[in-house]
Amino acid sequence: MNTIKYWIIPLCMLAFTSFAAWAQDQEEKPNNFTLDAELLTRGEIRHGGLSGNANDGDNKASFIVERTRLGLDYERTFLKTHITAQHSAVWGQAGKGSLNIYEAWAQLTARNGLFAKIGRQVLSYDDERIIGSDDWTEVALSHDLLKVGYENDIHKVHAMFAYNQNVESVDGGTVYRNGDKPYKAMQALWYHYDHPHVPFGASLLFMNLGLQGSEISDNPNKTNYQQLVGTYMSYRPANWSLEGSFYYQMGTSEDGVDIAAWMASVLGTYSPSRKLTLNAGYDRLSGDPYYNVPPKGYFGLVQHSTIKGFSPVYGTHHKFYGAMDFFYISTFKNGFSPGLQNFFAGLTYYPIKPLHIDATYHYFATATWLEDMSRSLGHEIELSVTYRPIKEVSISAGYSYMHGDETLERIECVDKGRNLHWAWLNVIIRPRFLQIKW
């Protein structure tokens, strides 16, 4: 593995430049340039949500966040480039917000379906459970990598290669800690089948992640590799659909501990009319056995030889495990996980075309047995309304209520209170300033 990593990126770069030279023979098309923006403003009132943020009495958190993106697109025959500058902050931060390049990539595409894409880019695959944009967060997620692949009307194959470092170092070694990206190296292969005349689709995903050894591991300078393999399938005939996924994790963690974890999900959707859609499903993410959280004033320690708590790595967690983000946004006590069971049901109602109303109920429980604790974590109810007065403007508002059980207090550091609330108002404006063809 160590030998391969020194050769894989140069070989991919060579393939990219060779592809560019070959693609120049394609038939010329007009140049197309666009300049657009995204202006997001969201106000929130939180009394709970995001592990450890629950308070007692009137000590509620309230704030307004903003995210501004400015995007440049250029496209011609075989070449497409995109650059997005992004600023995000809380109102009143006095210049302390985050300013960065969110996307900066170039893509070469041939008439036979081959393509190569290099640079900082957003990855979004299948239902975004494992790899997604996580666009609800202000900063969101993008990756520095090379992606090559092939696409036609039925088959899609993508191969991805990334290698990250803190600085351009001559003699500092290859230690990567506290960097902008969550991994040191990544290779992934994704295949998708989707026939235009068959209501069935299926994907296969393999991912190899290289993580820098943690400072408490036996060898902090060693890169530890973990793998994820799995599938996502969907069947969508007429006015109903069925989706399911299964993923398995193996390899070694940052601390040098073996990994053997899995997750499975199923989702059913039914639309009795154009105005109403019903859904229900179940998620199960494996957890560590003998997960131990001692009561206050006591000490407890469980030795784990294998990590069995599944990590949904770089997915859009806010979409799946409750809008209040109690799970898989922050870590559990002691670094291990009791896993999660998520039973949910909901509906979407369209009273008029530009307006839709969503309601969802979740029942959460741990996946593993807990000593002296119930598996039940609690119930969450979510309501949201979205209205689009014009194409460029989206206005949405939501409210979530969580009734947490005692177990939630023990494993998620929810202090003083189990009746937790969260309300928000979100405005997104996406103007297009300029479009030129020549």
Contact 223, 185 (CB under 8 A): yes
Question: Is 194 contained in some domain?
Answer: yes
User: Is 264 buried (19+), middle (13-18) or exposed (0-12) by CB count in 10 A?
Assistant: middle
Query: How does pLDDT run across 53-65, given as a tens digit for each residue?
Result: 444 445 678 999 9
Question: Is 103 contained in some domain?
Answer: yes
Contact 49, 325 (CB under 8 A): yes
Domain CATH for 174: 2.40.160.100
Query: How does pLDDT run across 367-419, given as a tens digit for each residue?
Result: 998 877 889 999 999 999 999 999 999 999 999 999 988 888 877 656 555 78
User: How many whole angstroms separate alpha carbon 367 and alpha carbon 286?
Assistant: 6
Question: Is 29 contained in some domain?
Answer: no
Mean pLDDT of 33-42: 98
Contact 283, 290 (CB under 8 A): no
Question: Is 30 contained in some domain?
Answer: no
Is 0.85 surpassed by the pTM of this model? yes
Contact 398, 383 (CB under 8 A): yes
Query: Is 29 or 233 the better-scoring residue by pLDDT?
Result: 233
Domain containing 248 equals 2-24+35-437
Confidence of residue 9 (pLDDT cuts 50, 70, 90): low
DSSP track, 383-428: EEEEE-SSTTEEEEEEEEEEEE-HHHHHHH---S-SEEEEEEEEEE
Question: Is 109 contained in some domain?
Answer: yes
User: How many whole angstroms separate alpha carbon 72 and alpha carbon 68?
Assistant: 14
- In the predicted model, what is the mean pLDDT of the chain? 87
Question: Is 409 contained in some domain?
Answer: yes
Domains identified in the chain, total number:
1
- Return the structure tokens found at 425: 């108002």
Question: Is 417 contained in some domain?
Answer: yes
Residues in CB range of 73: below 8 A, 6 or more apart: 32, 33, 34, 35, 36, 80, 81, 82
Question: Is 189 contained in some domain?
Answer: yes
Residue of 267, 373, 377 lying closest to 327 (CA atoms): 377
Query: How does pLDDT run across 116-147, given as a tens digit for each residue?
Result: 999 999 999 999 999 999 999 888 999 999 99
